[in-house]
Structure 1
């Protein structure tokens, strides 16, 4: 059972990495994995949180970049309307 649990967690970890490539937020990733991979939201959330703890610097930079991109997109959207 432990092997299959570890394999499942590894799969969720891999899918989260795919979400990161697509610049998704934690909430977007949880929703996508629930909808497309039938992963329970609590599992995705737990694995994401563990990854954040283990990779603090990466996630700080990732979240800052997402925030900056979102702000830039908001500014360009409002200036073009």
Structure 2
């Protein structure tokens, strides 16, 4: 990636990377949206959209992720 690369694809890739970082901390989509909004100035709708696309592409992974969060008591009641 070139320095100063402002392309939409570059931005989406950055958001994806940040989502993956949030997931290493066991965050839910809502927690990730809040964190990225506060710390990286990413609009929650962008985080949500990228997260949902990742879920579509990696259904088995996200099903397992949600199951592990649930087993560890990491699922917040909404």
State the alpha-carbon separation in 2 of the partners of residues 57 and 14 from structure 1. 19
Shift of residue 53 of structure 1?
A: 0.3
CA drift of 1:21 comes to 0.5
> Is it true that 1:56 corresponds to 2:59 in the alignment?
yes
Q: TM-score, normalised by structure 1?
A: 0.82
Structure 1 residues without counterparts, runs of 5 or longer? 72-81
* 1:50 to partner: Cα distance: 0.1
| Structure 1 stretches of at least 4 aligned residues deviating more than 4 Å after TM superposition | none
For the aligned residue pairs, the C-alpha RMSD in angstroms reads: 1.2
Using structure 2 for the length normalisation, give the TM-score.
0.86
Report the number of matched residues. 69
2:70 maps to 1:35: no
Structure 2: gaps (5+ residues)? 1-5
Match of 2:14 among 11, 17, 28: 11
> Shift of residue 66 of structure 1?
0.2
Q: Which residue of 2 aligns with 1:77?
A: none
Which structure is higher in helix share?
1
